Amino acid sequence: MKKTESFLTAPPQRAKYEALAGILKALAHPTRLFMVDQLARGGPRCVCELTEMVGADISTVSRHLALLKKEGLVAATKKGTMIYYQLRLPCVVNFLECLHSVLSSNIQDRLKLLS
Amino acid sequence: MKKTESFLTAPPQRAKYEALAGILKALAHPTRLFMVDQLARGGPRCVCELTEMVGADISTVSRHLALLKKEGLVAATKKGTMIYYQLRLPCVVNFLECLHSVLSSNIQDRLKLLS
DNA sequence: GACTTTTTTGGCTATTTGGCTAAATTTGCA
DNA sequence: TGCAAATTTAGCCAAATAGCCAAAAAAGTC
């Protein structure tokens, strides 16, 4: 008798969700999310500009950007010794809006609990 | 002389991105993403049903659900000894679609590199 | 080639996360 | 009350993540 197929034992389906989760993981960090948001609003920025905006060590910022790039969220372009990063897919912006709506809905619900 | 304000030194802005990243973090795990997707497609499910679908230990599934709930992505309803979880905000579905588009765009780009 | 600027990488430590087992809760029912 | 089923919580360990400093690469200029 065959045991019931589950998410964890179905490799192709599982691989799909692992890939999707990988993309989300790249976004799921305050600094990276901030940078993505900046790129969405202000267009391409070089590492040094982003470093200035973030206020962390440049090596840290570089690592964050490498991860975003690895997951296909940003693309890099060389200009002299500088490297400009830009957002790769526009839908990420709506994404952020939905996120905002989750957040404000959470806050509203918590407000309701008080009254 | 005032030093330039940065993301990391501007508490209110930073707190906002930390909150948003928290929501993303809750989604950024294969099992949790799978469960959210199941809830989006098939409506409310109890912990035991989700446990069956996922194929992990029920305590693990319970923890995942607790995190999703904490971040406001799902809501729980008691029915007898069972607890049904449901998706709280519809926009998360579009969210998943965008994610898919990032993924397929990544794959297409990798294909192009071969030709 | 030597020197400068920008970015990435290696190495290390501290923290967080994810999973399991086992124990505790909660709810329903005899 | 006492037992069974569903769910959550606690405790523990292994693996992944994030940060910094220092060193290496990459590109431009003299």
Residue B26 · residue B70 · CB < 8 Å: yes
Q: What letter does residue B8 receive in the DSSP assignment?
A: G
Residue A28 · residue B21 · CB < 8 Å: yes
Q: Kindly give the residue spans of alpha helices, DSSP state H, lying in A1-115.
A: 11-27, 30-42, 47-54, 58-70, 91-114
Inter-chain CB proximity B98 and A99 less than 8 Å? no
First to last CA, chain A: 55
Q: Which chain A residue has its CA at the smallest distance from B15's CA? A: A30
Q: What is the pLDDT of residues B54-68, one digit of tens each?
A: 999 999 999 999 999
Phi and psi torsions of B11, nearest 5°: -45, -50
Decide if B114 is inside a domain: no
Decide if B102 is inside a domain: no
Domain that holds residue A37: 7-89
Q: What is the pLDDT of residues B85-105, one digit of tens each?
A: 999 988 888 888 888 998 999
pLDDT at B1: 56
Decide if B29 is inside a domain: yes
Inter-chain CB proximity B7 and A106 less than 8 Å? no
pLDDT at B92: 86
d(CA B89, CA A82): 41
CATH number of the domain that residue B69 is part of: 1.10.10.10
Angle at A99 between CA B66 and CA A51, to 5 degrees: 110
Strand partners, B49: none
Decide if B110 is inside a domain: no
Decide if B95 is inside a domain: no
A25 vs B7, B28, B56: nearest CB: B28
Inter-chain CB proximity A88 and B105 less than 8 Å? yes
B28 touches strand D (CB under 7 A): no
A14 vs B19, B30, B52: nearest CB: B30
Tell me how many domains chain A contains: 1
Q: What is the pLDDT of residues A53-96, one digit of tens each?
A: 999 999 999 999 999 999 999 999 999 999 999 999 888 888 88
Q: Kindly provide the residue ranges of all beta strands, DSSP E only, lying in chain B, ordered along the sequence.
A: 45-46, 74-79, 82-87
Edge-to-edge order in the sheet of strand A45-46: A45-46, A82-87, A74-79
Distance (Å) from the C-alpha of residue A9 to the closest C-alpha of chain B?
A: 7
Q: Which residues of B touch A20 (CB under 8 A)?
A: 30, 33, 96, 99-100, 103
